[in-house]
Amino acid sequence: MNFAELEKKLGVKFKNHDLLIRALTHRSFLNEAHRPKPESNERLEFLGDAVLSFVISKLLYQQFPHHQEGNLTNIRSNLVKTLTLSKIGKELTIGDYLFLSRGEAESGGQQNLALIANAVEALIGAIFLDQGIAVVEDFIRRFFSGTLEAIIKTGNFKDSKNILQEKIQKRDIRPPTYKILGQAGPDHNKTFTVGVFVKNKLLAKGVGKNKLEAEKEAARTVLESLSK
C-alpha cells in the first residue's frame, strides 16, 4: 500500500513506516496476515489516547485562562470523544488505509466510526514516537482547532445531559432516562451504544468509548434536533 498520499494529508513524513503500518492495523487482521505477524494498533492507541489528552489539556489551559476546571474538562471531553476523532479520521480517509480481516472489511469496517477513531489515536501515538512531542502538538492543533472553535462558539462544552434534562423538565415531563442498547469490542476497548428515552420513547442514540460519553452524545443529538 502506498502511504505517500496519507502522509501528505497528515502533514507528517514518517521516518519509521513500521509505526505507520502498525497504527493502521486492526486486531482482526492478525489472523490473516502472513508471517511474521504484525502487531495491532491497540498499544499505539493506548499511547495516543494519553498523548492527545495531555496536548489538548495543555492547549486549553493556555488558551482559556479564565475557564474553570469543569468547563475545561467538558471542552476536552468534546474534543477527544469518538465522534470528533472519527470525523477527523474521515477527513483523512483513514478507513481506506486500514488493515482489516476480510470479514471485518465486508461488514463495513472501513466506515466503522469506532475503528476510525481508534486508528486516529493510534496515529497520534505513532507520530509521537516517530517525530516527538512538537510535531504531534502541531498535528493536533491543525486537526482539532476547527472543532474547538465550533465548541466555543456554540457553547457545546456545557454538559449536554444537564441541558437536556432542564429543557425536558421545563415542559413538566419526567427527566430523560438512558439505556445501553449495545456494546462491542474486547473488555479493554469496548464501544457503547446508548439510547435516551422520554416516556419510554427513544429520542436518539449515542456512541462512545464509555457509557457516559455515549449518554452525552445521545443527549447532544436530541438537543441538535430540538434547535432545528
Among residues 45, 121, 130, 213, the one annotated as catalytic is 121
pLDDT in tens, 14-50: 999 999 999 999 998 888 777 677 899 999 999 999 9
pLDDT in tens, 112-124: 999 999 999 999 9
Catalytic (active site) residue 32: no
Q: Cβ(208)–Cβ(194) under 8 Å?
A: yes
CA–CA distance, 104 with 29 (Å, rounded to integer) = 8
Domain boundaries defined on the chain:
4-154, 160-226
Location of C-alpha cell 505513532: 126
CATH class for the domain made up of 160-226: alpha beta
How many CB atoms sit inside 10 A of residue 225's CB?
10
CA–CA distance, 118 with 48 (Å, rounded to integer) = 9
Q: For the whole model, what pTM was predicted?
A: 0.72
pLDDT in tens, 177-187: 999 999 988 87
Catalytic (active site) residue 121: yes
Q: What is the CATH number of domain 4-154?
A: 1.10.1520.10
Among residues 5, 42, 45, 49, the one annotated as catalytic is 49
Counting as low any pLDDT under 70, the low residues of the chain are 35, 156, 172, 227-228
How much is the pLDDT for 76?
92
Q: Cβ(84)–Cβ(147) under 8 Å?
A: yes
